[in-house]
Amino acid sequence: CRGIKYRFGIPDFVKRAPNAKAIWKAELSPDHKGCNVVVNITPPADAPVGKYSLFLNYLGEDKKLGHFLLIFNPWCTDDSVYMENEEKIQEYVLNERGVIFKGSGNYISPMFWDYGQLEDDMVEIALTLLYVSPEHLADPLKDEAARCDPIYVSRVISRMINSNGDRGVLEGRWKGPYIGGMSPAHWSGSYPILKRWYNIGCHPVKFGQCWVFAGVMCSVMRALGIPCRVITNYESAHDCDKNLTIDVYHADWGVKEIPSPDSIWNFHVWCEGWMKRPDLSPEFDGWQVVDPTPQELSGGAHQCGPAPVKAILNGNTDLDYDVPFVFAEVNADCIDYLDGSKKTISTDSRRVGQNISTKSVGSNKRWDITSHYKHKEGQAHRIKYVSSPVVSAAACMFTVQEQRLRERGTVRSLKMLKL
Protein backbone atom coordinates (compact mmCIF):
# COMPACT_ATOMS: atom_id res chain seq x y z
CA CYS A 1 0.00 0.00 0.00
CA ARG A 2 1.39 3.39 -0.98
CA GLY A 3 1.94 5.68 1.97
CA ILE A 4 1.66 2.85 4.50
CA LYS A 5 4.95 1.50 5.80
CA TYR A 6 5.54 -1.13 8.47
CA ARG A 7 8.92 -2.13 9.87
CA PHE A 8 9.59 -5.20 11.95
CA GLY A 9 12.69 -7.24 12.65
CA ILE A 10 14.10 -10.55 13.89
CA PRO A 11 14.69 -9.93 16.72
CA ASP A 12 12.41 -6.91 16.74
CA PHE A 13 14.41 -3.86 17.86
CA VAL A 14 12.23 -1.38 15.96
CA LYS A 15 11.33 1.61 18.15
CA ARG A 16 7.61 2.40 18.25
CA ALA A 17 5.33 4.75 20.10
CA PRO A 18 4.00 3.30 23.38
CA ASN A 19 0.42 3.44 22.07
CA ALA A 20 1.22 1.76 18.73
CA LYS A 21 -1.45 -0.80 17.87
CA ALA A 22 -1.11 -2.00 14.26
CA ILE A 23 2.09 -3.95 14.83
CA TRP A 24 3.35 -6.53 12.37
CA LYS A 25 5.37 -9.40 13.80
CA ALA A 26 7.97 -11.73 12.35
CA GLU A 27 9.72 -14.72 13.85
CA LEU A 28 11.98 -17.47 12.65
CA SER A 29 10.31 -20.83 12.24
CA PRO A 30 11.97 -24.13 13.12
CA ASP A 31 10.45 -25.56 9.91
CA HIS A 32 13.32 -25.08 7.51
CA LYS A 33 15.26 -27.31 5.16
CA GLY A 34 18.82 -26.90 4.02
CA CYS A 35 19.77 -23.29 3.45
CA ASN A 36 16.16 -22.03 3.38
CA VAL A 37 15.13 -19.73 6.19
CA VAL A 38 11.43 -19.78 7.08
CA VAL A 39 9.93 -16.64 8.61
CA ASN A 40 6.44 -16.45 10.09
CA ILE A 41 4.85 -13.05 9.48
CA THR A 42 1.72 -11.99 11.36
CA PRO A 43 -0.09 -8.82 10.23
CA PRO A 44 -2.45 -7.17 12.73
CA ALA A 45 -6.15 -7.95 12.36
CA ASP A 46 -6.89 -4.34 11.43
CA ALA A 47 -4.22 -3.92 8.76
CA PRO A 48 -5.61 -2.22 5.62
CA VAL A 49 -6.41 -4.60 2.79
CA GLY A 50 -4.47 -4.02 -0.39
CA LYS A 51 -1.31 -4.79 -2.32
CA TYR A 52 1.92 -4.69 -0.31
CA SER A 53 5.58 -4.77 -1.33
CA LEU A 54 7.97 -6.76 0.86
CA PHE A 55 11.59 -5.73 1.43
CA LEU A 56 14.41 -7.39 3.34
CA ASN A 57 17.04 -5.19 4.98
CA TYR A 58 20.23 -7.12 5.63
CA LEU A 59 23.49 -5.44 6.63
CA GLY A 60 22.04 -2.07 5.71
CA GLU A 61 21.00 -3.07 2.20
CA ASP A 62 17.35 -3.25 1.05
CA LYS A 63 16.27 -6.02 -1.30
CA LYS A 64 12.76 -6.28 -2.71
CA LEU A 65 11.43 -9.80 -2.25
CA GLY A 66 8.11 -9.38 -4.02
CA HIS A 67 4.54 -8.37 -3.20
CA PHE A 68 1.52 -9.90 -1.55
CA LEU A 69 -2.21 -9.21 -1.41
CA LEU A 70 -3.78 -8.75 2.00
CA ILE A 71 -7.51 -9.37 2.52
CA PHE A 72 -9.96 -9.64 5.42
CA ASN A 73 -9.97 -12.83 7.50
CA PRO A 74 -13.35 -14.18 8.72
CA TRP A 75 -11.53 -16.91 10.69
CA CYS A 76 -9.68 -14.37 12.88
CA THR A 77 -11.55 -13.49 16.09
CA ASP A 78 -10.09 -9.96 16.12
CA ASP A 79 -11.11 -9.19 12.54
CA SER A 80 -14.20 -7.03 11.99
CA VAL A 81 -15.62 -9.68 9.62
CA TYR A 82 -15.10 -12.60 12.03
CA MET A 83 -17.76 -15.28 11.62
CA GLU A 84 -17.90 -17.94 14.30
CA ASN A 85 -19.71 -20.69 12.37
CA GLU A 86 -17.44 -22.63 9.99
CA GLU A 87 -20.37 -23.93 7.93
CA LYS A 88 -21.46 -20.35 7.28
CA ILE A 89 -17.93 -19.33 6.29
CA GLN A 90 -17.90 -22.18 3.79
CA GLU A 91 -21.19 -20.87 2.36
CA TYR A 92 -20.70 -17.12 2.49
CA VAL A 93 -16.98 -16.86 1.70
CA LEU A 94 -15.80 -20.02 -0.06
CA ASN A 95 -18.82 -21.28 -2.01
CA GLU A 96 -18.46 -20.35 -5.68
CA ARG A 97 -21.88 -21.66 -6.74
CA GLY A 98 -25.01 -19.83 -5.71
CA VAL A 99 -28.69 -19.31 -6.40
CA ILE A 100 -30.32 -15.94 -7.06
CA PHE A 101 -34.10 -15.71 -6.90
CA LYS A 102 -36.08 -13.76 -9.52
CA GLY A 103 -39.65 -13.78 -10.83
CA SER A 104 -42.50 -12.55 -8.66
CA GLY A 105 -43.84 -13.26 -5.20
CA ASN A 106 -46.34 -15.75 -6.61
CA TYR A 107 -43.91 -17.35 -9.09
CA ILE A 108 -40.46 -17.40 -7.50
CA SER A 109 -37.86 -18.44 -10.04
CA PRO A 110 -34.35 -19.58 -8.99
CA MET A 111 -31.34 -19.12 -11.25
CA PHE A 112 -27.86 -20.51 -10.68
CA TRP A 113 -25.01 -18.01 -10.42
CA ASP A 114 -21.27 -18.69 -10.60
CA TYR A 115 -19.50 -16.27 -8.26
CA GLY A 116 -15.99 -17.36 -9.25
CA GLN A 117 -14.34 -15.58 -6.31
CA LEU A 118 -11.60 -18.22 -6.14
CA GLU A 119 -10.35 -17.70 -9.69
CA ASP A 120 -6.62 -17.04 -9.75
CA ASP A 121 -6.77 -13.30 -10.45
CA MET A 122 -9.98 -12.40 -8.64
CA VAL A 123 -8.29 -10.78 -5.63
CA GLU A 124 -6.17 -8.68 -7.99
CA ILE A 125 -9.31 -7.62 -9.89
CA ALA A 126 -11.20 -6.86 -6.67
CA LEU A 127 -8.37 -4.68 -5.36
CA THR A 128 -8.07 -2.91 -8.73
CA LEU A 129 -11.70 -1.91 -8.29
CA LEU A 130 -10.68 -0.11 -5.08
CA TYR A 131 -7.64 1.50 -6.68
CA VAL A 132 -9.66 3.12 -9.51
CA SER A 133 -12.42 4.37 -7.20
CA PRO A 134 -13.05 8.14 -6.89
CA GLU A 135 -12.11 7.87 -3.20
CA HIS A 136 -8.65 6.58 -4.08
CA LEU A 137 -8.11 8.99 -6.96
CA ALA A 138 -9.06 11.95 -4.76
CA ASP A 139 -6.86 11.01 -1.79
CA PRO A 140 -4.84 7.76 -2.10
CA LEU A 141 -3.35 7.92 1.39
CA LYS A 142 -6.67 8.52 3.12
CA ASP A 143 -8.36 5.80 1.06
CA GLU A 144 -5.73 3.14 1.73
CA ALA A 145 -5.60 3.92 5.45
CA ALA A 146 -9.40 3.50 5.64
CA ARG A 147 -9.32 0.04 4.08
CA CYS A 148 -8.89 -1.61 7.48
CA ASP A 149 -12.65 -1.04 7.87
CA PRO A 150 -15.13 -3.31 6.04
CA ILE A 151 -17.80 -0.62 6.49
CA TYR A 152 -15.77 1.73 4.31
CA VAL A 153 -14.67 -0.96 1.86
CA SER A 154 -18.18 -2.37 1.28
CA ARG A 155 -19.59 1.12 0.68
CA VAL A 156 -16.90 1.81 -1.93
CA ILE A 157 -17.61 -1.54 -3.59
CA SER A 158 -21.34 -0.76 -3.78
CA ARG A 159 -20.42 2.42 -5.65
CA MET A 160 -17.91 0.78 -7.98
CA ILE A 161 -20.04 -2.14 -9.19
CA ASN A 162 -22.22 0.35 -11.09
CA SER A 163 -20.64 2.82 -13.50
CA ASN A 164 -22.75 5.90 -12.74
CA GLY A 165 -20.23 8.71 -12.45
CA ASP A 166 -17.08 6.60 -12.15
CA ARG A 167 -15.10 3.72 -13.67
CA GLY A 168 -17.38 1.06 -12.25
CA VAL A 169 -17.89 -2.47 -13.52
CA LEU A 170 -21.40 -2.51 -15.01
CA GLU A 171 -23.61 -0.19 -16.98
CA GLY A 172 -27.29 -0.60 -16.21
CA ARG A 173 -30.08 -0.78 -18.75
CA TRP A 174 -33.63 -1.59 -17.70
CA LYS A 175 -35.14 -2.40 -21.09
CA GLY A 176 -33.99 -3.20 -24.62
CA PRO A 177 -32.62 -2.84 -27.12
CA TYR A 178 -29.23 -3.82 -25.70
CA ILE A 179 -27.17 -2.54 -28.61
CA GLY A 180 -23.43 -2.55 -27.95
CA GLY A 181 -23.60 -5.12 -25.17
CA MET A 182 -25.34 -8.14 -23.72
CA SER A 183 -28.82 -8.41 -22.30
CA PRO A 184 -28.68 -8.70 -18.49
CA ALA A 185 -30.34 -12.10 -18.88
CA HIS A 186 -27.24 -13.30 -20.77
CA TRP A 187 -25.05 -13.37 -17.67
CA SER A 188 -24.87 -16.37 -15.34
CA GLY A 189 -21.69 -15.57 -13.43
CA SER A 190 -19.49 -12.76 -12.17
CA TYR A 191 -16.01 -13.70 -13.35
CA PRO A 192 -16.58 -13.12 -17.10
CA ILE A 193 -17.94 -9.65 -16.29
CA LEU A 194 -15.12 -8.71 -13.91
CA LYS A 195 -12.42 -10.18 -16.14
CA ARG A 196 -13.72 -8.25 -19.15
CA TRP A 197 -13.88 -5.01 -17.13
CA TYR A 198 -10.28 -5.57 -16.02
CA ASN A 199 -9.04 -6.44 -19.52
CA ILE A 200 -10.59 -3.41 -21.26
CA GLY A 201 -8.97 -0.89 -18.95
CA CYS A 202 -11.66 -0.65 -16.29
CA HIS A 203 -14.41 0.53 -18.62
CA PRO A 204 -18.00 -0.57 -17.89
CA VAL A 205 -19.35 -3.86 -19.21
CA LYS A 206 -22.78 -3.63 -20.86
CA PHE A 207 -25.39 -4.38 -19.48
CA GLY A 208 -26.69 -5.25 -16.01
CA GLN A 209 -29.80 -5.16 -13.86
CA CYS A 210 -30.26 -5.66 -10.13
CA TRP A 211 -29.51 -9.40 -9.92
CA VAL A 212 -26.36 -8.95 -12.05
CA PHE A 213 -25.14 -6.01 -9.96
CA ALA A 214 -25.74 -8.00 -6.75
CA GLY A 215 -24.12 -11.18 -8.06
CA VAL A 216 -20.97 -9.30 -9.07
CA MET A 217 -20.77 -7.44 -5.77
CA CYS A 218 -21.12 -10.69 -3.82
CA SER A 219 -18.14 -12.10 -5.73
CA VAL A 220 -15.96 -9.06 -4.96
CA MET A 221 -16.90 -9.10 -1.27
CA ARG A 222 -16.13 -12.81 -0.94
CA ALA A 223 -12.87 -12.42 -2.87
CA LEU A 224 -11.77 -9.83 -0.28
CA GLY A 225 -12.73 -12.13 2.60
CA ILE A 226 -15.98 -10.41 3.63
CA PRO A 227 -18.84 -12.92 4.16
CA CYS A 228 -21.62 -12.00 1.73
CA ARG A 229 -24.95 -13.32 0.44
CA VAL A 230 -27.49 -12.22 -2.17
CA ILE A 231 -31.01 -11.22 -1.10
CA THR A 232 -34.21 -10.91 -3.16
CA ASN A 233 -37.10 -8.74 -2.00
CA TYR A 234 -40.45 -9.21 -3.77
CA GLU A 235 -42.82 -6.27 -4.16
CA SER A 236 -39.87 -4.00 -3.49
CA ALA A 237 -40.62 -0.31 -2.99
CA HIS A 238 -38.57 2.53 -4.50
CA ASP A 239 -39.20 5.59 -2.34
CA CYS A 240 -37.82 8.61 -4.19
CA ASP A 241 -38.90 11.43 -1.84
CA LYS A 242 -37.71 9.74 1.38
CA ASN A 243 -41.05 9.95 3.19
CA LEU A 244 -41.16 6.16 3.77
CA THR A 245 -44.37 5.78 1.75
CA ILE A 246 -45.22 4.97 -1.86
CA ASP A 247 -47.53 7.75 -2.98
CA VAL A 248 -49.99 7.32 -5.85
CA TYR A 249 -52.16 10.22 -7.05
CA HIS A 250 -55.47 10.10 -8.94
CA ALA A 251 -57.07 13.02 -10.76
CA ASP A 252 -60.51 11.87 -9.63
CA TRP A 253 -62.32 8.90 -8.11
CA GLY A 254 -61.89 5.83 -10.28
CA VAL A 255 -59.54 7.63 -12.67
CA LYS A 256 -56.23 6.14 -13.76
CA GLU A 257 -53.32 7.12 -11.51
CA ILE A 258 -51.05 10.07 -12.33
CA PRO A 259 -47.40 9.10 -12.98
CA SER A 260 -45.35 9.28 -9.77
CA PRO A 261 -41.58 9.00 -9.11
CA ASP A 262 -42.30 6.36 -6.45
CA SER A 263 -42.71 2.80 -7.68
CA ILE A 264 -42.95 -0.85 -6.67
CA TRP A 265 -40.82 -3.42 -8.48
CA ASN A 266 -41.93 -7.03 -8.74
CA PHE A 267 -38.56 -7.93 -7.25
CA HIS A 268 -35.27 -6.30 -6.37
CA VAL A 269 -31.93 -7.91 -5.48
CA TRP A 270 -29.20 -6.63 -3.17
CA CYS A 271 -26.39 -8.03 -1.00
CA GLU A 272 -25.74 -8.46 2.69
CA GLY A 273 -22.21 -8.28 4.11
CA TRP A 274 -21.24 -9.58 7.54
CA MET A 275 -19.30 -7.18 9.77
CA LYS A 276 -19.13 -5.38 13.09
CA ARG A 277 -20.51 -1.84 13.46
CA PRO A 278 -18.28 -0.06 16.01
CA ASP A 279 -19.59 3.24 14.62
CA LEU A 280 -23.04 2.33 16.00
CA SER A 281 -23.33 -0.25 18.78
CA PRO A 282 -22.83 -4.02 19.13
CA GLU A 283 -26.56 -4.68 18.67
CA PHE A 284 -26.17 -3.71 15.01
CA ASP A 285 -23.27 -6.09 14.31
CA GLY A 286 -23.91 -8.85 11.77
CA TRP A 287 -25.62 -8.64 8.40
CA GLN A 288 -25.59 -5.27 6.62
CA VAL A 289 -27.47 -4.38 3.43
CA VAL A 290 -25.22 -3.14 0.63
CA ASP A 291 -26.87 -2.44 -2.72
CA PRO A 292 -24.80 -1.77 -5.87
CA THR A 293 -27.78 -1.11 -8.18
CA PRO A 294 -27.85 2.63 -8.98
CA GLN A 295 -31.10 4.02 -7.57
CA GLU A 296 -30.83 7.14 -5.43
CA LEU A 297 -27.82 9.28 -4.56
CA SER A 298 -26.25 8.70 -1.16
CA GLY A 299 -23.45 11.02 -0.12
CA GLY A 300 -23.40 12.39 -3.65
CA ALA A 301 -22.86 8.99 -5.32
CA HIS A 302 -24.87 5.96 -6.39
CA GLN A 303 -23.99 3.81 -3.39
CA CYS A 304 -26.09 2.22 -0.69
CA GLY A 305 -25.23 0.84 2.71
CA PRO A 306 -24.01 -0.77 4.77
CA ALA A 307 -27.37 -0.59 6.54
CA PRO A 308 -27.78 -2.95 9.53
CA VAL A 309 -30.55 -5.48 8.98
CA LYS A 310 -31.42 -5.23 12.69
CA ALA A 311 -31.90 -1.46 12.31
CA ILE A 312 -34.24 -2.05 9.37
CA LEU A 313 -36.21 -4.61 11.39
CA ASN A 314 -36.65 -2.26 14.34
CA GLY A 315 -37.21 0.92 12.35
CA ASN A 316 -34.05 2.74 13.45
CA THR A 317 -34.21 5.00 10.42
CA ASP A 318 -31.94 7.59 12.05
CA LEU A 319 -28.83 5.43 11.58
CA ASP A 320 -26.16 5.22 8.86
CA TYR A 321 -26.02 4.17 6.12
CA ASP A 322 -29.20 4.48 4.02
CA VAL A 323 -31.41 2.73 6.59
CA PRO A 324 -34.52 4.82 5.66
CA PHE A 325 -34.26 3.90 1.99
CA VAL A 326 -33.93 0.16 2.66
CA PHE A 327 -36.61 0.30 5.36
CA ALA A 328 -39.01 1.72 2.76
CA GLU A 329 -38.06 -0.99 0.25
CA VAL A 330 -39.42 -3.67 2.58
CA ASN A 331 -41.91 -1.83 4.76
CA ALA A 332 -43.36 1.27 3.06
CA ASP A 333 -47.10 1.87 3.13
CA CYS A 334 -48.79 2.34 -0.25
CA ILE A 335 -51.09 5.36 -0.12
CA ASP A 336 -53.51 6.46 -2.86
CA TYR A 337 -54.41 10.16 -2.83
CA LEU A 338 -57.01 12.25 -4.60
CA ASP A 339 -54.82 14.81 -6.37
CA GLY A 340 -55.38 18.43 -5.44
CA SER A 341 -57.24 17.77 -2.17
CA LYS A 342 -54.57 15.38 -0.87
CA LYS A 343 -57.43 13.27 0.44
CA THR A 344 -56.44 9.67 1.20
CA ILE A 345 -58.37 7.18 -0.89
CA SER A 346 -56.78 4.00 0.47
CA THR A 347 -53.78 2.71 2.39
CA ASP A 348 -52.11 -0.71 1.93
CA SER A 349 -49.59 -1.60 4.63
CA ARG A 350 -49.14 -5.23 3.56
CA ARG A 351 -48.16 -5.13 -0.09
CA VAL A 352 -44.50 -4.10 0.12
CA GLY A 353 -41.76 -6.53 1.18
CA GLN A 354 -42.85 -10.10 0.48
CA ASN A 355 -41.03 -13.44 0.50
CA ILE A 356 -37.59 -11.95 1.15
CA SER A 357 -35.33 -14.78 0.03
CA THR A 358 -31.78 -16.04 -0.01
CA LYS A 359 -30.01 -19.34 -0.59
CA SER A 360 -29.88 -21.72 2.38
CA VAL A 361 -26.58 -22.64 4.00
CA GLY A 362 -25.31 -25.89 2.52
CA SER A 363 -28.15 -26.38 0.01
CA ASN A 364 -29.84 -24.70 -2.95
CA LYS A 365 -33.17 -24.41 -1.16
CA ARG A 366 -34.82 -21.02 -0.76
CA TRP A 367 -34.66 -19.57 2.74
CA ASP A 368 -37.38 -17.04 3.57
CA ILE A 369 -35.85 -14.36 5.81
CA THR A 370 -38.73 -11.87 5.73
CA SER A 371 -38.83 -11.98 9.54
CA HIS A 372 -35.24 -10.66 9.62
CA TYR A 373 -36.41 -7.45 7.94
CA LYS A 374 -39.92 -6.76 9.20
CA HIS A 375 -42.26 -7.64 12.01
CA LYS A 376 -45.59 -9.17 11.19
CA GLU A 377 -48.29 -6.61 10.48
CA GLY A 378 -49.87 -5.54 13.76
CA GLN A 379 -46.92 -6.67 15.90
CA ALA A 380 -45.61 -3.90 18.12
CA HIS A 381 -42.16 -2.52 17.29
CA ARG A 382 -40.44 0.80 17.57
CA ILE A 383 -39.86 3.06 14.58
CA LYS A 384 -37.62 6.12 14.60
CA TYR A 385 -38.39 8.37 11.66
CA VAL A 386 -35.79 10.71 10.27
CA SER A 387 -36.51 14.31 9.43
CA SER A 388 -37.64 14.53 5.91
CA PRO A 389 -2.29 -13.51 -1.54
CA VAL A 390 -0.35 -14.26 -3.65
CA VAL A 391 3.35 -13.39 -3.45
CA SER A 392 5.12 -13.20 -6.82
CA ALA A 393 8.89 -13.36 -6.64
CA ALA A 394 11.45 -16.07 -7.28
CA ALA A 395 12.83 -15.83 -3.78
CA CYS A 396 9.58 -15.13 -1.96
CA MET A 397 6.65 -17.49 -1.49
CA PHE A 398 3.76 -17.76 0.95
CA THR A 399 2.50 -21.03 2.33
CA VAL A 400 -1.13 -20.49 3.41
CA GLN A 401 -3.78 -22.62 5.03
CA GLU A 402 -5.88 -25.31 3.38
CA GLN A 403 -8.90 -23.28 2.38
CA ARG A 404 -8.86 -22.34 -1.30
CA LEU A 405 -9.60 -18.72 -0.55
CA ARG A 406 -6.36 -18.50 1.36
CA GLU A 407 -4.56 -19.77 -1.72
CA ARG A 408 -5.89 -16.75 -3.62
CA GLY A 409 -4.93 -13.98 -1.22
CA THR A 410 -3.04 -13.39 1.99
CA VAL A 411 -5.54 -13.30 4.85
CA ARG A 412 -4.93 -11.20 7.93
CA SER A 413 -3.43 -13.97 10.07
CA LEU A 414 -0.22 -15.95 10.54
CA LYS A 415 1.62 -16.80 7.33
CA MET A 416 4.79 -18.65 6.42
CA LEU A 417 7.34 -16.74 4.36
CA LYS A 418 10.19 -18.69 2.79
CA LEU A 419 13.24 -16.61 1.89
210 is catalytic: yes
67 is catalytic: no
302 is catalytic: no
CB 52 within 8 A of CB 391: no
Catalytic residue among 136, 268, 302, 372: 268
Beta bridge partners of 245: 333
Distance CA 262, CA 238 (A): 6
CB 73 within 8 A of CB 45: yes
Catalytic residue among 143, 149, 239, 291: 291
Those residues whose C-beta lies under 8 Å from the C-beta of residue 98, and which sit 6 or more positions away, are: 112, 113, 114, 115, 215, 218, 230, 359
CB 233 within 8 A of CB 327: no
Catalytic residue among 76, 202, 210, 218: 210
Distance CA 9, CA 11 (A): 5
Alpha-carbon dihedral sign for residues 272, 275, 276, 279: negative
Closest CA to 358 of 98, 11, 28: 98
Residue type, 372: H
Those residues whose C-beta lies under 8 Å from the C-beta of residue 269, and which sit 6 or more positions away, are: 100, 101, 102, 210, 211, 213, 214, 215, 230, 231, 232, 233, 293
Give the residue numbers annotated as catalytic, written as ranges: 210, 268, 291
